[in-house]
Structure 1
């Protein structure tokens, strides 16, 4: 009985030590960037990018961190191959010249102990603009399935695509785009 308590105490202590500052790698099987845009006022069209990569450094005690996310434009998927080819083309995302959308954080924003936003820069089509990702959900802890420490978040922002030079189809296809990023990152 005493041995079990000692082992349990040691396990809990090791988990607490691991909960401080850590570096994580974005898990591409659980990280997706998706978008929503108005289509001719009739509907909201959606799509996602199926390949992402990046890193996260997070220190909860210091309330700071760094996140870098790379979104592979060639992985754009709206569920319709012809539309995907058009959107990857020169008139839209121009994936040959600009194969990545990049986000790099500059500041983690907390309300009390809770991470509520991440300010940073978004790079798309060679244009760099400030973006705030509002964090709807954030959690760090031990993933029992893969036995690794990790952090996950649901983030969202609204941007104007014209700010990045993506003006094709305006005003019929919306200028405002809601970008959502569901991300999980784990210790290597």
Structure 2
């Protein structure tokens, strides 16, 4: 996955709210509190080289997630989990192989992929973009990662005005071998471009 592409996860809603507050130059637009990720509108997708001949695309579901927007944007935090057993590359046999093989996801032993934020920085020139630092746990290994966050948007949900909703895209690039995912190194690329699409909600009447 490229630097612009590692799409779980998750502190993004905090970024969305913070971006909205900066864009409107009004702290009243910031709604601190706990936001729950919406699994029906949140997922990860990835790209990886296949034998130097083509690019394989896949996706997986967000399992759960929690975002805490603080009174100060710099204190906002997020924690997101992806479900590797939901991996979908469009081929059932390949997906089963990816789920079961130790050099790939090995979901029986590692049932979660988790991201937890450590720092957030809003772009001074474009408040709809940010940089998110955090720790990614994949295949039993935890490594620091940096996510590029863009397309941040927050508003009262147009279909349900009883809640606030934030959305964003966060992307990065990792080396799968850094996480012990080393199956077929001569056939499957090491570099993975990962992107996470997120929507998260909070009841509009409970600003706390």
Which category describes the TM-score, using the shorter chain as reference length? Answer: 0.7 to 0.9
So what's the TM-score if we normalise by structure 1?
0.86
Counterpart of 1:110 in structure 2 is 122
Residue pairs, 1:138-177, within 5 angstroms: 138-147=152-161, 148-177=163-192
Q: Which has the higher contact order (CA 8 A, sep 6+)?
A: 2
Query: How far is 1:39 from its partner?
Result: 0.5
Q: Which moved more, 1:18-27 or 1:54-63?
A: 54-63
Q: Of residues 53, 67, 73 in structure 2, which corresponds to 1:62? A: 73
Structure 1, residues 76-135: CA drift from partner, whole Å, max 9, x if none?
A: 111111000000013311000001000000001112272411100000111000011101
Task: Give a deviation string over 1:40-61, Cα, whole Å, max 9, x none.
Answer: 1111101011343101112475
Cα RMSD (Å):
1.7
TM-score w.r.t. the length of structure 2 is 0.78
Report if aligned partners of 1:50, 1:77 keep a CA contact under 8 Å in 2: no
Q: Which runs of 5+ in 1 are unaligned?
A: 1-15
CA positional deviation for 1:18: 6.7
Count of aligned residue pairs for this structure pair? 173
Alignment correspondent of 1:78: 89
CA distance in 1, matches of 2:121, 2:71: 12
